[in-house]
Amino acid sequence: MTEQIDTNSALKTLNLKPGASQEEIKQAYRKLALECHPDLFLDPTQKRGAEEKIKIINQAYEQLKNYQYIDTNTVNTTSSNKTSVSSTASTPETIYQRGMSKASTGKYSEAIEDFTIAIRLKPDYIEAYKFRALACEKLGYVNRAKSDYKKASELEVIQRKFELRERIRKEQEQKYQQETAPQKPKRAYPCKLVKSLNHGNCIWRLAVSADGQFIASAGSDNIIKIWNLSICESTGNLIHTIKHDQLIRCVVFGNDNQMLASGSDDGSIAVWQVATGKLVNKFKVHSAPVCSVIISPDNQTIISASNDTSIKISHISMGEMLHVVKAHTHTVHSLTLSTEKQILISCSSDKTIKLWNLKTLKSISVIPHSAFITCIAISPNEKYVASGGFDQSIILWDISTGKKINTFAGHRAQISSVSFSCDSQIIGSTSTDGALKLWQISTGEELNIGTSKINVAKFSEVSKSLICATSEGIIQIWQCD
């Protein structure tokens, strides 16, 4: 609200003495208004100063001018018989309300005068513009009404932009305070680094065999490397190097640990023999990059998901597509299986997680999400599903009810992988910012492991270890207690 000033201050602002006539007041106002008009100044600082000064001049003028308008009977006679102006205070709000009262009784011309005074005192008075426009409409002043409505709309846009900037500023300030505030030390996760393997280039994908004996790493060099952790060799346990023609989007071991499947950018799927590193079969059933592959529990078929929005079932030895599931409306990023419940789970950029009957391939349920979902994992006890996506958080879901259990927030970029510990008590997550975070499911506490530049991480259920792959091509093997 504009600060009120008394009559003496108003006279002093216009360089007038007590007893000045209305004509003298008007002339003084016009002179100062011309001298201090903001358009006369180019320098931003001077221009702002002029804008503030003109507001004060306008307020002083309206304070003095309104004396006769508000109460023409209020006149004090001094010893010199000169007329002085009363100290009736006026603000944009009181004048606006006076105009509203007059408009409500049909005195539109007088209301327009009051709205005009309020606008002079407060140039961004949106409501005054709107009701002056309405009063003008009542009197048939169509062009004036259009002009006022337009000005009110322009001011509303400016106000919304200002409010948006203020909200962003406050959010940034809050974020800065959170980031710079003293952080409570995170409790260390009980594990130790026992081995490091060198893939040679940035690792995008990682697979760990069910028995924890083998690791497959897929890098930006279009190469898959298979490692045998049970062999103690100075060469770093590398047993096979497999060259791909295209970028490798996904790798997975079969349940019997004898086969490895991979999906490529060209829409093809390859199946490799783990013991020899030789190609078993290669077939192309998708028209876009293959994002996720699973070898079925009976090791007879491949379940694959793609950018083409579909899930497809293909026979491994025949290399033929058996079934097509029109799964999602956008890219299907990840698949996982509940072997006990015979459920296939998929996630997509269409912001949904879907559960499918593995035998009939019919939809069981749909879990909606607020953002693109890029990865999912099922807990070893098959009670939970964890999902990660573009909202930089990990959400824990109850697989039976589809209800959200908890949300884990702390990453600063989209989530790239999620994995459960062997006891289903810890979730490991990585994001494109290179951070690895571990979350205690029961408490929501974030645990510290002391590593960085991690692209993907997988828990090994049997060996009770955590396998991490870095952007520098290093595979870290952490033994968990």
pLDDT, tens digit, 9 for 90 and up, residues 109-125:
999 999 999 999 899 99
Position 116 scores a pLDDT of 92
Return the closest-CA partner of residue 381 out of 424, 425, 337: 424
How high is the mean pLDDT of the chain? 87
β partners of residue 261: 252, 271
Q: How confident is the model at residue 480 (pLDDT cuts 50, 70, 90)?
A: confident
Mean pLDDT of 5-11: 79
Q: Please, which pLDDT band fits residue 95 given cuts at 50, 70 and 90? A: very high
Contact between 219 and 200 (Cβ < 8 Å):
yes
Using CB atoms within 10 A of its CB, is residue 131 exposed (0-12), middle (13-18) or buried (19+)?
Answer: buried
- Element containing residue 34 per DSSP (H, E): helix 22-35
Averaged pLDDT, 162-188: 78
Domain 191-480 fold: Methylamine Dehydrogenase; Chain H (2.130.10)
Q: Select the highest-mean-pLDDT range: 5-9, 288-292, 407-411.
A: 288-292
Instruction: For the sheet with 465-470, list strands across it.
Output: 191-198, 474-480, 465-470, 454-460
Where do we find the tokens 């599931």? Answer: 325
Average pLDDT over residues 19-40: 79
3-state secondary structure of 214: strand
Structure tokens at 320: 């033929």
Question: Average pLDDT for residues 297-320, to the nearest whole number?
Answer: 95
More confident: 7 or 113: 113
Q: Which two tokens stand for residue 207?
A: 């697979």
Please tell me the least confidently modeled range out of 131-135, 335-339, 418-422, 449-453: 449-453
Residue 147 has pLDDT above 60, yes or no: yes
State how far the Cα of 386 lies from the Cα of 396, in Å rounded to an integer: 5
The reply to whether CATH 3.30.565.10 applies to domain 7-179 is: no
pLDDT of residue 80: 35
pLDDT of residue 382 exceeding 70: yes
Alpha-carbon separation of residue 374 from 1, 289, 351, 415, 429 (angstroms): 50, 14, 9, 7, 12
Average confidence (pLDDT) over 207-228: 93
Report residue 75's pLDDT band, with 50, 70 and 90 as the boundaries: very low
* Mean pLDDT to the nearest integer, 296-310: 95
Question: pTM of the predicted model, to two decimals?
Answer: 0.63
What is the pLDDT averaged over residues 394-417? Answer: 94
**Structural domain boundaries in the chain:** 7-179, 191-480
Residue 184: band (very low, low, confident or very high) from pLDDT cuts 50, 70, 90: low
Question: In the predicted model, what is the mean pLDDT of residues 95-104?
Answer: 91
> What does each C-alpha distance from 108 to 35, 114, 129, 144, 389 come to in angstroms?
33, 10, 14, 14, 58
Contacts of 110 (CB under 8 A, 6+ apart): 99, 102
Local structure of 265: helix, strand or coil: coil
The pLDDT-based confidence of 82 (bands split at 50, 70, 90) is: very low
CA distance 29 to 18: 15
What's residue 26's pLDDT? 81
Q: What is the pLDDT of residues 338-367, one digit of tens each?
A: 988 899 999 999 999 999 999 999 999 999
Residue 431 has pLDDT above 90, yes or no: yes
What angle separates helix 108-121 from helix 126-138, to the nearest 10 degrees? 160
C-alpha span between 478 and 212 (Å, rounded): 13
